[in-house]
Structure 1
C-alpha cells in the first residue's frame, strides 16, 4: 500500500464533515482512507477541551516554534558573552 500524504486543509475538511454529522465509515469508504486515520485526524484537528480555541495540531506547532525561539535566544546569549567588550 502506498504511503499517501494529505494536506492539512484536506484533513480539516474531513474533520469538518465529521463534525457536521457525516459518519466516519461513510467518509472512509468515500475517500478511501482508513477509519483509524480519520479518527487520528479528528483528534488532531478538533478544538482542545480546556476552553482554548486551538486544535492539538496548532498547539504542537506553537510548541515547536517556542522551542526553536528558546534555542535562538540561548545562542544569542552565548554570542553576547563572546563579543562583549572586556
Structure 2
C-alpha cells in the first residue's frame, strides 16, 4: 500500500497556490499528482487553514476511537445476551 506523499500542511499550501491563480495542470506537473488528486484535495481541504486541518484530523481519530468503543460495547452486550439465554 502506498503511503501518503504530502502532509495536510503541504496540501493546504498547494491549494493556496491554486487559489492564487496557478493553473491546475501546472500544479500537477510541479508536485507530481493527478488532476483528480488536486480536485479531491479541494473538496476535502478547500478554505481550511493548517490549524483547522489539524483539528479535523484530531476529531477524525477521536471519532474512530469512539466508534471502536461502541462496537466493543455492542459485542459485549450481544455475548451477555447469548450467555443469559442458555439454560444451565
Alignment partners' CA distance in 1, 2:10 and 2:24: 15
Unaligned runs of 5+ in 2: 74-88
Task: Give the Cα–Cα distance (whole angstroms) in 2 for the partners of residues 67 and 37 of structure 1.
Answer: 24
> Match of 1:3?
2
In structure 2, the residue matched to 1:65 is 62
Task: Determine if the alignment matches structure 1 residue 22 to structure 2 residue 19.
Answer: no
User: What is the match of residue 32 of structure 1?
Assistant: 32
Match of 2:46 in 1: 46
In structure 2, the residue matched to 1:13 is: 13
Tell me, in whole angstroms, the C-alpha distance in 2 between the residues paired with 1:3 and 1:68.
24
Query: Over aligned residues, Cα RMSD in angstroms?
Result: 3.2
Residue 68 (structure 1) shift? 3.9
Q: Offset at 1:3? A: 3.0
Q: Structure 1: state its 5+ residue gaps.
A: 49-53, 76-86
Alignment coverage as a number of residue pairs: 66
Identify, as 1 or 2, the structure richer in helix: 2
CA distance in 1 between counterparts of 2:10 and 2:20 reads 15
Bigger radius of gyration: 2
Q: Which has the higher contact order (CA 8 A, sep 6+)?
A: 2
